[in-house]
Amino acid sequence: MLRLRNAGYKITPPRRAVIEVVLREGEHLDPNEILQQAQAIYPHTGRATVYRTLELLTTLGIVRPIYVGEHGPTYIRAEGGHHHLVCSLCGAVTDFDQCVADSMERELEARFGFQIRSHLLEFYGYCARCRQTQPEIAAN
């Protein structure tokens, strides 16, 4: 909200709604779900505006699209870090906490002149359940 205003963008009802929805804790929502939930808050919200707002928020580093599991992109808050264990078979995503990435930020910023705002650390493999049900694949 403040970030938006500071960057010179207007605060409008549909933008408020989209932001509220996407920043709700623990959500990994696709654009359609975001549209639905935003309309529950501000009924007039249009589809195009949802896409436009997601793009804007991404640009401002407030949300981030992640592509995981079978289908389309999903959006999560960018702030801080996200740490996922992703199953390549069933697409299940498990969050975990402790993360060792912050220790690298300073050096990367110095080396590349990059200003880091957040990160995403994902491990890919096979979840406990898929290892049981489909050992042939997990094995090889």
From Zn ion, Mn ion, DNA, none, which one binds at residue 9 (CB under 5 to 8 Å depending on kind)? DNA
Kind plus residue range of the DSSP H or E element containing 2: helix 2-6
Cα–Cα separations (whole angstroms), residue 56 to 10, 15, 36, 72, 89? 12, 10, 19, 19, 32
From Mn ion, a second copy, DNA, none, which one binds at residue 105 (CB under 5 to 8 Å depending on kind)? a second copy
Closest distance of CB 1 from DNA, Å: 9
- Of 25 and 136, which has the nearer Cβ to a second copy? 136
Residues that bind a second copy (CB under 8 A): 3, 6-8, 55, 58-61, 64-68, 70, 72-73, 78, 85, 87-89, 94, 96, 98-101, 103-105, 108, 111-128, 131, 136-138, 140
The reply to whether 48 sits near DNA by the rule CB under 7 A is: yes
Contacts of 48 (CB under 8 A, 6+ apart): none
Which residues in the 101-130 window bind Zn ion by CB under 5 A? 127, 130
Task: Give me the residues that bind Zn ion (CB under 5 A), please.
Answer: 87, 89-90, 92, 127, 130
